[in-house]
Structure 1
Amino acid sequence: MTGIKFAWSGLGGDAALLPRVSTVVREGALHGRLPVRELARACVAACALAGAELGARRGELVEVPRVRVDDGAVAAAFHSERHLLVDGRAPVSFAPLSRFWRTADGWVRTHANYPHHRAQLLDALGVPDDVAAVEAALAERTSLEVEEAVYAAGGLAVALRTPTEWAAHEQAAAVAARPLVERERIDSAHARVLAPVDGARLLPAAGLRVLDLTRVLAGPVATRTLALLGADVLRVDPPQLPELPDQHADTGFGKRSTTLDLAADRRTFEELLAAADVVVTGYRPGALDRFGLSPHALAERRPGVVVAQVSAWGAGGPWSGRRGFDSLVQVASGIAVVEGSLERPGALPAQALDHGTGYLLAAAVLRALTEQSYEGGSRFVRLALARTAEWLVNGIGAGATGDDSYDGPGPWLVETDSSLGRLRYALPPVSFAGGPADWARSPVPWGTDPARWS
């Protein structure tokens, strides 16, 4: 329970509720050199307990429902983007230019899944869209030269570092100085009055409107989880930046999807904000402030709002303004060396920084809603993939040996028909007595819903 206790404490949760959590520990699930299974279990357990706590508040229950976390369900969910099938077709994961590359003195990892990131990478290197050309150009430069040149061009490339090298970096120090979950009460808005929930399933977030301004992967996992728990989640994307279809399908369960130019369609956007209970953003810190989306600006216009932010590198330090993804944070933080070596870097068995941070972000929103119902106040919560990585490498520790084995994801994979086709997908791992076992709706094609609340 050490990891669960730490995560729950970081969320401001009452330690007296921890005995409500039980776990099914399965050997072989999310196996890695680092305690990935323990991190994943802790993040999901904290999220489920936060949901159960809010559910008890809204369901007027005497006790908080019991939470059960099964490593098998967690492992399947942390691989959800790999398990998705659309009409039997396996998803497209990483593009050809998203990979490790040898440099003159080591390795870099690039991320070029999106067309604009691919173009920026090629522009920085001055080469055509050809794997051999990229390989030759990178082999002539040092890792740090590549990192800086690609970043300057707006692209994404990170040099491989050991944990010791990362610990000496100014960004690592900035990340480690912050708590796992940053929480702030912004003002003295009145306590939130939450209508009681009633139905066959206990849905803690029923009736709450969540404006989802996130992309890849932690933010969408968080809002997918809030949708599971009953929230009306509307994902809003800029029309000029289409989401990758398979990625959108995997994280779109329970949500609606619309496109909106925040500058050109300002009136529509303000109408959405005016009725939102929760605003979740997944862009670089400060990137959306010009649209009035800073936590304090939102609280002034919408007293009692919960604002949740997630980023790759955190809100402080020299890299706070840089884009980033799970794979790149693994490379910078030393995880890729621990899971492989300097000669052949490796990776975690899942994109655990993304998924784990996503469940923690959802948990932070749920806890903020619970606290509001007692104490009032607009709330701000913030997490970063790099801070989750720091916890994995230096803080969580290995857990107990399990009595059960992990024989694969089969029991936690189901199928359904949807407007996208026949889907196979992983069931949600967040589970508590009386709570939902699956999403109420399947994902829809990107950008097909109107920009209004249902």
Structure 2
Amino acid sequence: MIRPPSLSPAASILRRVRADLGIVADAGDHGDIPAGAVPLPSRLAVGDLAWASVRACGLIVGLDGLPDPDRVAVAYRSDRVLTVDGTPPDVWSVYSGFWRTADGWVRTHGNYPHHARRLRDGLGLGADADARGVRTAILALTSREAVDRITAARGLAVPVRQEDPRDDERQRTTPLLAVDRAPSPAPRSRPDTLRHDARGSIPSVPLAGVRVLDLTRVIAGPVCTRTLALLGADVLRIDPPRLAEPEWQHLDTGHGKRSAVLDARSGRFEELLAAADVVVLGYRPAALDRLGLSPSDLAARHPGLVIAQLSAWGDDEPHRAGFDSLVQAESGISMVESADGERPGALPAQALDHSAGYLLAAAVIDLLERQRRDGDSWVVRTSLRRIAAELLGMPRNRHPEVEREIDLSAHTATFEVGGHRVSTARPALPGVEFAAPHLWGSDQPVW
């Protein structure tokens, strides 16, 4: 994509979002910020991507004020400021990380117990295997052999690759936010979203009355639904009964949402769908197809839904599971961020996840208004790989900026949750504040 030279990277992202959503730009707001304003030091334009993603939400919902660059940086690194009873959680498993192979590097993800078990199974390791055991097993294999063995056991591993500019350019010919309209046989009444008060201003809860069914996990989807809850939506997160969420992960992104456990094949789940206004999907497209929860299935059974779908790799690879760290590694970002050109590096935040979350939230807000005005069902899709392609196509810094210290006291909030004192990052959107997260699985599956 060729960008006008007068536009900053952040303004270019906002132009792309507006084009994807069919929104006419305000001539007085191009989304420009000074280079390096958001303190997320990187060779890639991570700060610009972060600021523009947050700003897209604010523009679409009509919030006054610009995002604070320091607040955006803290929000994108929220896992680093989270404490429970004063103690930071252990965020990464010993089974997650970069591992040298006989001919290169691989990246693994084993934060969930079932993923850790599958990784060990693929490498022929016992339940007591530690990081040294994993390192030794992988070093004896080529990158292809290590990935093949782990993925054959349904674990998660990818090769660390150099970027492929041609593939990224191909990705960028597709929308960052792909919107489709699914005609419905009958109109469906919806809340009057983005309601203005008597003075013409957006109220503090513009999504009041909107019901959002949250079928997501791990940062990107939860950031989207957390943002919708922040703006007043009634968000109900549903998880399967036998797949517990790490407590810290939900406390980091569960603000303002209710959380329940329910089988997606139950009659009660279908009742929740029937009464929802929005469904946010974060599971692999192939898994959703098997459960009858693909966007086309949902729109056919429940006309009038707004459906947001997030995946790691996009519709080209519907069977693949993935996480931000894995997409960074395989897309080439990890080698771009390498400090020495040999050992892989990483972005200063899980920026693919967070940006996908904010951009999806912006799209949902816009599509709610379209549904109210025009009827029918609406679907928006994006993927972490598509976000990565956008980032890889933005202007780069020859040398990352020097890390700047931020006073965290202005950018964190503390809540009492289930008898624990939880400190988390405050919202990146200006002028609004989070409600406390609920404990995972602690609510009933009802609206």
**Structure-2-length-normalised TM-score:** 0.89
Alignment of 1:145-160 (within 5 A): 145-160=145-160
Equivalent residue in structure 2 for 1:44, among 33, 42, 54: 54
Alignment of 1:293-308 (within 5 A): 293-308=293-308
1:229, CA displacement in angstroms? 0.4
Secondary structure at the counterpart of residue 452 of structure 1 = coil
Distance 1:18 1:191 in 2: 36
Distance 2:35 2:205 in 1: 26
Alignment of 1:318-397 (within 5 A): 319-340=317-338, 341-395=340-394
Q: Percent same amino acid among aligned pairs?
A: 47
Which is further off, 242-251 or 4-13?
A: 4-13
Secondary structure at the counterpart of residue 416 of structure 1 = strand
Distance 2:147 2:171 in 1: 19
The answer to whether 1:219 aligns with 2:224 is: no
Secondary structure at the counterpart of residue 240 of structure 1 = coil
Secondary structure at the counterpart of residue 79 of structure 2 = helix
- 1:379-404 C-alpha deviation (Å, 9 max, x unpaired): 00011000000000114667xxx9xx
Distance 1:234 1:191, change over 3 A: closer
1:20, CA displacement in angstroms? 8.2
The aligned residue for residue 88 of structure 1 is 86
- How big is the alpha-carbon RMSD for the aligned residues of Structure 1 and Structure 2? 2.4
- 1:136-181 C-alpha deviation (Å, 9 max, x unpaired): 11111111221222112110011110113xx467xx6874453211
- 1:308-353 C-alpha deviation (Å, 9 max, x unpaired): 110100011xx33111000010100111111114411110000000
Secondary structure at the counterpart of residue 89 of structure 2 = coil
The answer to whether 1:257 aligns with 2:259 is: yes
Distance 1:246 1:445 in 2: 10
Equivalent residue in structure 2 for 1:210, among 199, 212, 215: 212
- Is this contact kept in 2: 1:285–1:321, CA < 8 A? yes
What amino acid maps onto 2:225 in structure 1? T
The aligned residue for residue 282 of structure 1 is 282
Distance 2:373 2:424 in 1: 37
Secondary structure at the counterpart of residue 364 of structure 2 = helix
1:85, CA displacement in angstroms? 1.0
What amino acid maps onto 2:375 in structure 1? G
- 1:391-426 C-alpha deviation (Å, 9 max, x unpaired): 00114667xxx9xx7634332112232325112111
- Is this contact kept in 1: 2:76–2:350, CA < 8 A? yes
What amino acid maps onto 2:301 in structure 1? R
The answer to whether 1:417 aligns with 2:406 is: no
Distance 1:420 1:18, change over 3 A: farther
- 1:277-310 C-alpha deviation (Å, 9 max, x unpaired): 0000101113122333122222222221001110
- Is this contact kept in 2: 1:161–1:337, CA < 8 A? yes
The aligned residue for residue 449 of structure 1 is 443
The aligned residue for residue 273 of structure 1 is 273
The aligned residue for residue 5 of structure 2 is none
Equivalent residue in structure 2 for 1:12, among 18, 22, 30: 22
Distance 1:397 1:363, change over 3 A: farther
Distance 2:382 2:12 in 1: 20
Distance 1:385 1:373 in 2: 29
- Is this contact kept in 2: 1:109–1:159, CA < 8 A? yes
Which is further off, 292-301 or 67-76?
A: 292-301
Equivalent residue in structure 1 for 2:432, among 431, 437, 443: 437
**Structure-1-length-normalised TM-score:** 0.87
Which is further off, 267-276 or 294-303?
A: 294-303
Secondary structure at the counterpart of residue 179 of structure 2 = strand
Secondary structure at the counterpart of residue 57 of structure 2 = helix
